[in-house]
Amino acid sequence: MAVTTDCDVSSLQRDLRAGALCACLDDNGLRNICYDGHEIVRAVYFAMRDESWQTYGVRANSHLVDQHEDAFQVRIEGTAGPQGHELAISISIDASADGLLRLDVTTTVRQAVLTNRIGIVVLHPLAVSGNRVTVTTSAGDTTEGVFPVLIDPYQPFMSFIGLRHDVANAVSVDIQLSGDVFEMEDQRNWSDASYKTYSRPIGLPWPYTLDKDSVHVQTFRLAAHAAFGGNALTASPNTRTAAHIRFGSAGGARLPPLGLGLAVPATGDQHAHHGAALAVVKPGYAVVRAHAGDPASDHTFSWLTALAAANEFPVVLELVLPCLDAPRIELDRVQASMKRAGFTPEAIMLSPAVDLKGVLPGSAWPACPPLHEIYAAAQQVFDTPLIGGGTLAFFTELNRKRPKSASLDFIGFTTCPIVHAADDVSVMQTLACLPHIARSVRALFAPLPYWVGPSSIAARMNPYGADTAHNPAREKISLTHDDVRQFAPFAAAWALGYIAAFAAHGAGRIALSELTGPRGVTMITDGGTRLSPLGELLGALYPFAGCPLLDVEIERDRFAALALISGNDCHVWIANLHPEPATCTIAWVSRPGESVEMAGYGLAYIVREAN
C-alpha cells in the first residue's frame, strides 16, 4: 500500500524503506543509507559553497513522499544560496527493493552568483577505512585503491565518475555519478566522520560565476546487494534500544590538564566580567593569543601577569609572528615586552601569521621563514619551559604542512565540527572521527606530546575565508563564531564526548571554548555571573587532571562516557548524544549493573566506591 505525503516542511525528517534498503530523508537529500543493516552511505545531498566556503543547504519549499511497500519516491523543491542570490533546486529520489537508488538534482540559476562549488555531495562512512575500492575515472578506465587509514592531507581519489567497494565484507556498493567530474577528500581532516565525494575538482579556479538562467543537472546512482551472493534481509527503520556502557579497569591513560581560551578584554567592563567569571570557574590553564609587534603587548602581558597570579592558573601563550623581520628579531622584542611586564607563560605556541589561513590543494604556500628556524630561535630566546608548534588553525593545516618538530616540546592544533555541516547529527558524528585524528597525529609526530584546542562547536577562526560567518538569524550554520548551541545542554554533551575521545587517545592537554563571549562558558544574568551547562561540566572536570582513566566500551554511538579514579572513588560522566530521552545500562567489572535515565542531550554524573 502506497503512502503519499505532501510534507510539512517544518517536519521533513522521516525514515524511508525499500526492501533491504533504508534511509532517513531531510531537506537536502538522504542520510544514513543502510542495506541489510549496514550503513553504506552516510549521506547524499546537494550543497552550495560560497566564496568563503560557507555551506548552503536546501531550504525546502515543498516535499512529496511516496512510501510503497517495497519502494519509495521523493520530490523536493527549494532554494539554496546567499540571500538575494538563491538558486532554484529540484531533487528527485527513487529507490526500489532490488537495492537500486537514484538521486537527480537540477539547479537553475536565477541571478548570477559567485560560488566555489555546487552540486551533489556523497559522504562515505568511517567503516570503509582501509577497504579496497575500484575507481572508474572520468576517462572510463578503472583503477584500484584503498580508503586511507591514516588521514590523507589531500585527495585520495581524483577525476572519477564511479566507485565500487564492499562494506563490512557484507554488502557490495556500486556508485555512479554524472553531470561533472568528481573527486574525494578525506573529511576526517576537519573532524567530519566521513570521506567526501564532491563535484568540480578543487584544482580548478575558484570562486567562479554561475551565469543567470544557466541550468546544471547531476545524478547519483547507487546499487547495493549482499556480498558473495548472500541474501539480504528486509530492512526496517532504525529502532532505538537501550545502549550499554562497560567500564573496565584503569588502562594507563590519565585525564590531561583541561584548559580554557581567554580573550584579552578591551574595556573596563570586560575586565570586571573576566574577574567575576574566574570566580566561578577554575581552569587548569588558560590559552591566550598575542601578536608579535602589537603596540599593546606591554598592557596585555601585564594584565595576564596579574590575572594568572590572582587566579592561580598557568598561561599558554599563542604567539603569532608577522614574519616581517627575521624570527630572532621579532622574538627578542616579544621577550623584552614580557620581561617588562614580569610575565612568564608556562608554554608558548608559535605560528607565522600566514599560517592562520589554510592553503588549499594546488595553491602556492605563502612566503614564510622555515618553521624549524622559528622554533629553534624561540628555544634560544625564551625562558619559557615549553615551546610548541604546529598550527593555531585546524588539524587539516597541520596535516598538510607537517613541520619538522626536533626543536619542539609539543605539537598543537584545534578542530571545529561545523566547517562543512552544522546540523545536530553531523556535529555529534564528528566525535567518532577524533580517534582517527589522534592516531594520525601520533603517526606523524610521536613521541612528541600533542595538545588540542581551544576547540568549540563555534568556529574560533575561518582559515578558508575572510572571516567567520555572522549569525543574526540565530540559525545552525557552518563556520560561524556564534553557534546557537553554545549555552545549551547540547554543547556540554558534545564536549564530554570530545574530552573522552582525546583523553583516551593520549592527548597531552585539551582546551575547550573560552571564558566569555559567544564561545564562552559563563553567562551574565540579573543574579550575577553563572556557568552554562558546558561551564558546569568543565568546572567539575578541571580538578581531576592527572587521575587514571578507566577503559570504556560503548556498544552504540548513542552515548559518550568518561570514568576516572580519584582516591577511593570512581567518578563517571555520561552524555546522551541524541535529542530523545534514553535509558543507559551500565556494566561494571566487579559490581552489579545499573540503569540511568537520561534526557535528550543530557548529562549524568555517578560516583561509586572504587574496587
CA–CA separation, 255 vs 564, rounded Å? 8
Examine the domain organization and report whether 327 and 410 are in the same domain: yes
- The C-alpha torsion from 339 through 340 and 343 to 344, rounded to 10°, is 0
All three cell numbers of 548, joined, read 587514571
Q: Are residues 305 and 198 in the same domain?
A: no
- Cα 211 from Cα 110, distance rounded (Å): 9
C-alpha separations of 605 from 81, 496, 560, 575 in Å: 43, 11, 12, 9
Tell how strand 522-525 and strand 509-514 pair up: unpaired
Residues 193 and 268 in one domain: no
Angle subtended at Cα 154 by Cα 152 and Cα 156, rounded to the nearest 5 degrees: 65
Q: How many folded domains does the chain comprise? A: 3
Summarize pLDDT for 135-161 with one digit per residue, the tens: 999 999 999 999 999 999 999 999 999
Mean pLDDT of 163-178: 95
pLDDT band for position 536 (50/70/90)? Answer: very high
**CA-CA-CA-CA torsion sign (335, 338, 344, 347):** negative
CATH, residue 505: 3.20.20.80
Last residue of a domain, one of 522, 545, 568: 545
Pairing of strands 509-514, 450-455: parallel
User: Both 307 and 405 in a single domain?
Assistant: yes
pLDDT (average), residues 216-244: 69
**CATH value at residue 582:** 2.60.40.1180
The x, y and z cell numbers of residue 217, run together, are 543537472
State residue 424's pLDDT score: 95
**Stretch 165-182: mean pLDDT, rounded?**
95
Give this prediction's pTM: 0.92
- Burial letters for 581-608: b for 16+ Cβ neighbours within 10 Å, e otherwise? ebebebebeeeeeeebebeebbbbeeee
Same domain, 263 and 244: no
What is the rounded distance in angstroms from the CA atom of residue 359 to the CA atom of residue 374?
20
- 235 in a domain, yes or no? no
Nearest to 55 by CA among 36, 28, 78: 28
Q: Is residue 234 part of a domain?
A: no
- Per-residue pLDDT at 268: 56
**245 and 286 together in one domain:** no
Report residue 556 as a C-alpha cell: 552504540
> How far, CA to CA in Å, does 203 sit from each of 92, 117, 214?
30, 12, 23
| Whether 382 and 468 share a structural domain | yes
On whether both 320 and 418 belong to a single domain, the answer is yes
Polymer length of the chain: 611
CATH of residue 210: 2.70.98.10
Provide the 10 A C-beta neighbour count for residue 506: 17
Closest CA to 414 of 347, 355, 370, 365: 355
156 found inside a domain = yes
In a domain, 333, yes or no: yes
The pLDDT of residue 3 is 44
Report the pLDDT value the prediction gives residue 593, as an integer from 0 to 100: 83
pLDDT in tens, 101-114: 999 999 999 999 99
Task: Residue 606: give the domain boundaries.
Answer: 240-250+546-611
Quote the pLDDT of residue 265. 74
169/294 same-domain check: no
Percentage of the chain surpassing pLDDT 90? 76
How far, in Å, CA of 271 to CA of 514, rounded? Answer: 15
Query: If you search the block for the grid coordinates 594546488, which residue do you land on?
Result: 362
Q: Quickly count: other Cβ atoms within 10 Å of residue 527's Cβ.
A: 6
- Do residues 29 and 45 lie in contact, with contact meaning Cβ atoms separated by under 8 Å? yes
- Domain identity same for 532 and 577: no
How many CB atoms lie under 10 A from the CB of residue 311? 15
Domain-located, residue 472: yes
Residue type, 527: G
- H runs (alpha helix) in 289-346: 297-311, 327-341
Question: Do 223 and 325 reside in the same domain of the chain?
Answer: no
Residues 6+ apart with CB under 8 A from 42: 31, 32, 33, 123, 124, 125, 193, 194, 429
pLDDT of 236 reads: 43
* Residue where one domain finishes, among candidates 545, 563, 582: 545
Contact 427, 492 (CB under 8 A): no
Tens-digit pLDDT profile for residues 500-514: 999 999 999 999 999
| Contact criterion met (CB below 8 Å) for 429 and 180 | no
Would you state the pLDDT for residue 154? Answer: 93
pLDDT, tens digit, 9 for 90 and up, residues 120-135: 999 999 999 999 999 9
Cell of 341: 611586564
Domain identity same for 219 and 337: no
Q: Give the angle subtended at the CA of 29 by the CAs of 28 and 35, to the nearest 5°.
A: 155
